[in-house]
Amino acid sequence: MPDRFYRPVLTLLILAYTAGVIGLQTPSLAPLFRSLVPYNLLGSLLLLLAFHADWKPSFRFYCILAILWGFLIEVLGVHTGFVFGNYVYGETLGWKLWEVPVVIGINWLMLTYCCGVICDALPLRVYLKTMVAASLMVLLDLLIEPVAIRLDFWNWFEADVPIRNYLGWWIVSLIILGIWYGLPFRKQNRLALPLLILQFLFFAAMNLVFFLTKP
């Protein structure tokens, strides 16, 4: 996508995520905004990929693999509890296949892509970049979990989010990101950093609102 579209797209994303925070906290608007969550994820990914310039077969392979691996590992997790712990998906993330929302694979692609681009700029060896990027994924998940439970993204059968969930996130992310760094394509995208920052700010704001409005 030409550079002249960068600022309008970034403005659109900022407005969308800001509206999401407000809409999800407004009782009369919350059902509508919950129904829009899958479309927001899909739209965010499409805008992100619109700024990716190197569509080599290796990059297309990564996209397909990240979506499929992310989705199938969630199927394994939901049905066995082996990967992340015992949990079940709610209705907010939309249409499901094998009890897992189809959009979850898109989320794995978007987040690993953003973390991979950001950490690629670090002056580190590739294996360290991979570990830092996977750790950044887990840091985001720490903010996601309380919000996901409140908004019926997913629910845990246990009283608290199990530690193995975060370990599972790190290992799954590490595998996807290891493939990301191992494949020969350009790992640059000017939208990756602001989009990941928006993700962090969105979930941080939602956590803050939940904390301030807690009975």
Residues in the chain, overall count: 215
Tokens found for residue 3: 């550079």
CA distance readout (Å), 210 to 33, 145, 166, 180, 213: 17, 13, 22, 35, 5
Residues 118, 133: contact at Cβ < 8 Å? yes
First to last CA, the chain: 47
Write the CB contacts of 207 (distance below 8 Å, at least 6 apart in sequence). Answer: 143, 146, 147
- For residue 215, the model assigns a pLDDT of 66
- For residue 214, the model assigns a pLDDT of 74
- For residue 3, the model assigns a pLDDT of 77
Write the CB contacts of 51 (distance below 8 Å, at least 6 apart in sequence). Answer: 1, 6, 9, 189, 190, 191
Question: For 155, how many CA atoms within 13 A lie in the half-sphere containing its CB?
Answer: 7
User: What is the chain's pLDDT, residue by residue, as a tens digit (215 residues)?
Assistant: 767 889 999 999 999 999 999 999 999 999 999 999 999 999 999 999 999 988 999 999 999 999 999 999 999 999 998 889 999 999 999 999 999 999 999 999 999 999 999 999 999 999 999 999 999 999 999 999 999 999 999 999 987 899 999 999 999 999 999 999 999 999 999 999 999 999 999 999 999 988 888 76
